């Protein structure tokens, strides 16, 4: 399950990266991007095609080859020279006109009464209009503005901070898991090397619990200060209480030696089940002065 989630996370991140890359490429390198994907989109800045295409709409056009025929009244996207500046327009193609041996494509806006004054040739036409999304062009204008560039920088900083935090969390999580694994191994060793046997218990007439058992040390060295957790339950095995108890104190227990221990608790009439788990111990050599 975790492997599946990891793969889904990687695939999602890859798809998001591809989409963002395509978006940024389309914003900053539209010509090269359109050659690669076959489509181009841009923002309509004028009302020349209203009400067909509202101002600030995001227009999607499909690239066409120069030898592809065009039918009159086809909406096309083309380069135009407006006051010495190259711009993109999306207007109706109306008809062709030959002048001085050159074929020009006459275009016209939806709200215009006459043809455009641009001398548009076939090489100027880059694609056919496919569809548009109203008002979405404003977002692309913002992305290309200085404020948009500032937003990219802020997002980059946020991303880097997020990666640093996530990396630190992952390292911390790894450390915790390693400690938990080591602790689990220690507990397993304690269960194997410090064995509790001959457990007996009874509750007397004064509702006092008397618990007796034998502890055997299978470690190759003497140990002391053996702490156990005693947990007590009722008939339905609901926990009543728990506490820590020294099965062995400073006197310690030698290797391969067994030692009896006892535990007493008052007001224990509701106790029906119990469990003992060893928590920690110390080597005798470490506790000697």
Instruction: Return the domain boundaries, the chain.
Output: 1-35, 38-141, 191-287
Percent of the chain scoring above 90 in pLDDT = 33
pLDDT at 284 over 60: yes
Q: Please list the alpha-helical segments (H only) found in the chain.
A: 2-28, 30-37, 137-144, 146-193, 284-287
> Of 62, 38, 58, 76, nearest to 144 (Cα)?
58
Distance set, CA 116 to CA 49, 80, 96 (Å): 12, 10, 13
Domain 191-287 listed as CATH 2.60.40.3230: yes
Over the stretch 99-128, which tens digit does the pLDDT of each residue have? 888 999 999 999 888 999 998 999 999 889
The predicted structure's pLDDT at residue 35: 61
Dihedral in degrees, nearest 10, Cα atoms 26, 31, 36, 41: 50
Confidence of residue 1 (pLDDT cuts 50, 70, 90): low
Same fold, 38-141 and 191-287: no
DSSP code at position 256: T
For residue 62, how many other CB atoms are within 10 A of its CB?
A: 14
- Diameter of the chain measured on Cα atoms: 123
Band the pLDDT of 47: cuts 50, 70, 90: confident
**Tens of pLDDT, residues 77-99:** 999 988 888 888 999 999 999 98
* CA gyration radius, the chain: 41
* Higher-confidence position of 239 and 66: 239
Q: How far is CA 89 from CA 4, 30, 66, 122, 125, in A?
A: 48, 14, 17, 14, 10
Q: pLDDT tens across 140-180, in order?
A: 777 676 776 677 677 778 878 888 888 888 888 888 888 88
CATH topology of domain 38-141: Umud Fragment, subunit A (2.10.109)
Strand order in the sheet with 239-248: 239-248, 223-233, 273-283
Per-residue model confidence (pLDDT) at position 257? 93
What is the reported pTM?
0.47
pLDDT value, residue 5: 66
């Amino acid at each position: 399950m975790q492997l599946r989630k990891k793969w889904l996370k990687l695939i999602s991140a890859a798809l998001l990266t591809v989409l963002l890359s395509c978006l940024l490429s389309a914003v900053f390198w539209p010509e090269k991007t359109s050659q690669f994907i076959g489509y181009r989109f841009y923002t309509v800045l004028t009302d020349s095609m209203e009400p067909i295409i509202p101002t600030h709409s995001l227009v999607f056009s499909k690239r066409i080859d120069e030898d592809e025929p065009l039918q009159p009244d086809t909406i096309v996207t083309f380069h135009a020279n407006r006051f010495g500046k190259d711009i993109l327009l999306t207007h109706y193609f109306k008809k062709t006109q030959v002048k001085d041996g050159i074929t020009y494509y006459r275009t016209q806006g939806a709200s215009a009464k006459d043809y455009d004054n641009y001398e548009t040739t076939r090489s100027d036409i880059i694609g056919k209009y496919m569809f548009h999304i109203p008002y979405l062009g404003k977002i692309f204008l913002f992305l290309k503005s200085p404020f948009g560039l500032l937003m990219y920088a802020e997002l980059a900083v946020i991303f880097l901070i997020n990666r640093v935090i996530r990396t630190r969390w992952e390292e911390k999580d790894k450390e915790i898991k390693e400690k938990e694994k080591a602790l689990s191994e220690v507990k397993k060793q304690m269960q194997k090397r410090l064995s509790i046997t001959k457990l007996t218990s009874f509750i007397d007439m004064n509702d006092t619990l008397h618990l007796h058992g034998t502890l055997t040390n299978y470690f190759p060295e003497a140990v002391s200060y053996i702490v156990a957790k005693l947990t007590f339950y009722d008939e339905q095995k609901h926990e009543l209480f728990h506490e820590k108890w020294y099965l062995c104190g400073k006197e310690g227990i030698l290797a391969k030696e067994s030692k009896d221990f006892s535990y007493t608790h008052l007001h224990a009439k509701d106790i029906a089940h119990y469990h003992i788990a060893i928590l920690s111990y110390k080597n005798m050599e470490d506790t000697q002065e």
